Structure 1
């Protein structure tokens, strides 16, 4: 874990872009602190901030003024395998072989086990609202017949959270891309990629948000990826979801998205402009989370577009190193050493009546790995931020 508090110094974070696409004949609608030279971890806090130590990790209770900040988070949970080999298939027979290998790789990264590790991280912090990306649903069955859900990442994660006494409920979701493909001579599989917003649904009552105006939409801008197979291409629709949240006297609009990873930068930038325009009319402060596939140095891309639309970055606003806070880059097998190398997962907000007082990267420590296999929870790390709203109690 890397964490920062307003007035302190950095921590580290990341996110690696995950490959997305739609498949089939005619595809459709896929805390770390800054490391010390000796490998130690360092936490940063504003003077007067109360410290709570649990298992060697520090959490913030706000900015030291006795008022607990509203916790928000973003986490790309990883669809479970790398889709890129599908794009490189040179024939339909090879595509079937690669699809079978993809499905096997997804099973090998065992989301059932990873969901428990993710739930441990989220339950320990219990943010009121969480934006999730790559919340996959995998189905499988006989060719041409009905398919059965084999892995519903959302259901598995919610069940693990409930088992820890920290239940969440789904309040908004959008399907991005989906596609059905042959994985053998007799079987087919379908993959559906989703962005999801969940909110706390248990005690204490002060942490149980009320929600309204759930909205989801698809971007007009979308990538179409070429294939080496004549007559086949991969279209990658994406979208966003939002919901108005009221908790402890504060009302804000919370949104989440996963911007284009593998199309041209122009598609991703166009999606960022669409999203900024869609949220511009909100009567409430806006908190925008997600995997933006855009680094803080991307001045002319998605990050720069959203900054130009007035959004502040919770990581740097809370004192994080602009060059740290990595959230992406773990290997697809999730079994290598720590390979986080850049920051593309962000908690952003329009600062009128809002300010970030804490920020933390989660899922990046050896202790965060799953048991018994030792997977990283995802190929991304998550970000949790504490936000103070004007008028919040």
Structure 2
């Protein structure tokens, strides 16, 4: 894979309140809705020789996904959308959880699990409709599709193994009367692959790109969810994915319409360039630039820092896995709304972090809407 290395300049700043007149041109929201559990314990269990290590770890992950109760959290997410009414919403981790009991994983998984437990998109859309809002799926991409065994029950003879399947999607919703065209969705060329009990599980990531027209003005919208950062090989993967995304956007976009690029980039403004030690052929020893710096180094402004008044840090990640700890605090800013003006004159931008306070927790089970905060931006251009 060809890699054009990108550089950027880190801009530092504080946070801002949201205040705006009602004549803003476009309102956008980026929201990682949280698949419901941390799946990394399964990867750790894959290193354990005990044949039940993976099923037990998967069982715990699935139980956590049920306990974090997306149907309830979806109501809180829908309330956020009702209060802001964004024209465009970029969603990440729009999951489908399915089961198959008894499972067939141990005999080669000839049939995929298809008994749907949760379809996050269907649940969220029903909540929006119940609140009188009309949104349409304008773009969708299927990402990781992973099926593994779990303990579905216990008998005198031993555990009953079923299969649980997790399907991941990135989706763009547009509000009623917002026209859209030229939708392009896809998966990145390079993704993380992990061996789990002899099965090569690909943690595929993706993106959505489309044009929207809001109040007579055209915009290019990009939504994505990059690989996690931190350690190798993940931070190298996310750098390569961002590089690919920017090249695709550049090759498929007009140079006259503003580009609004939003999503969970898993990259904080404090990230710094590094030399890859990922073990991935062709990358080891190469200097790489983290996604945030790639964006700001190629003409995209960080809308959080483009505000007239900046107050606070705008942190978006992450609450505890159970999303139930009222004392939990956010520690990084990895969800962003980037803006490339392409010659347009910006009049004002206002950005607000949503769902970042214990006051935003659900009434019944006391859950945060997600393990991430959302990023809502109002952007107005000079006519």
TM-score range, shorter chain: 0.7 to 0.9
Equivalent of 1:278 in 232, 242, 248:
248
Structure 2 matches for 1:90-239, cutoff 5 A?
A: 90-91=48-49, 92-142=51-101, 143-144=103-104, 147-184=114-151, 185-201=160-176, 208-225=177-194, 229=197, 231-239=198-206
Structure 2 counterpart of 1:346? 336
Are the aligned partners of 2:139 and 2:171 in contact in 1 as well (CA < 8 Å)? yes
Runs of 4+ in 1 over 6 A off after TM superposition: none
Question: Taking structure 1 as reference, are residues 293 and 319 closer, same or farther at Cα in structure 2, changes over 3 Å only?
Answer: farther
Alignment correspondent of 2:368: 376
- Over 3 Å counting, the alpha-carbon distance change for 1:210 and 1:390 in structure 2 is farther
Go from structure 1 to structure 2 and tell me whether the alpha carbon gap of 1:354 and 1:153 turns closer, same or farther (over 3 Å shift): farther
Q: Would the aligned equivalents of 2:25 and 2:215 in 1 still touch at CA under 8 Å? A: no
Q: Does 1:264 align with 2:224?
A: no
| TM-score normalised by structure 2 residue count | 0.81
CA deviation digits over 1:118-141, x for unaligned, max 9?
A: 111111000100101011111112
2:210 to 218, 243, 254: 243
Matched, 1:86 2:23: no
CA distance in structure 1 between the aligned counterparts of 2:298 and 2:272, rounded to whole angstroms:
12
Please tell me whether the aligned partners of residues 338 and 364 of structure 1 are also in contact (alpha carbons under 8 angstroms).
no
Q: Could you report, residue by residue, the CA deviation over 1:218-249 in whole angstroms, capped at 9, with x for unpaired residues?
A: 1112122456x5x4553221110111100101
Q: Name stretches of at least 5 consecutive residues in structure 2 with no aligned partner.
A: 1-12, 105-110, 152-159, 274-289
In 2, the alpha carbon distance for the partners of 1:289 and 1:354 equals: 20
Q: Which of 222, 243, 264 does residue 291 from structure 1 map onto?
A: 264
What's the counterpart of residue 204 of structure 1? none
Separation in 2, partners of 1:215, 1:249? 22
How far apart are the structure 1 equivalents of 2:235 and 2:213?
A: 35
Q: Output the CA distance in 2 between the equivalents of 1:191 and 1:61.
A: 42
SS at match of 1:280: helix
Structure 2: distance between partners of 1:315 and 1:105: 33
Can you list the C-alpha shifts for 1:16-50, whole angstroms capped at 9, x where unaligned? xxxxxxxxxxxxxxxxx6xxxxxxxxx4xxxxxxx
Name the CA distance, whole Å, in 2 between partners of 1:382 and 1:354.
26
2:24 is paired with a residue of what secondary structure?
Answer: coil
Moved more, 74-83 or 353-362: 353-362
Stretch of structure 1 that moved more, 382-391 or 313-322? 313-322
Aligned length: 327
What are the equivalent positions in structure 2 for 1:347-362 lying under 5 Å apart? 347-352=337-342, 353=344, 355=346, 356-362=348-354
Q: Which residue of 2 aligns with 1:29?
A: none
Q: Is it true that 1:315 corresponds to 2:304 in the alignment? A: yes
| TM-superposed deviation, 1:98 | 1.0
d(CA) in 2 for partners of 1:303, 1:265: 12
Task: Determine which of 16, 19, 24 is the counterpart of 1:68.
Answer: 24
CA contact (8 A) 2:219 2:258 kept: yes
User: How far is 1:198 from its partner?
Assistant: 0.2
The 1:180–1:226 alpha-carbon spacing in structure 2 relative to 1, beyond 3 Å, is closer
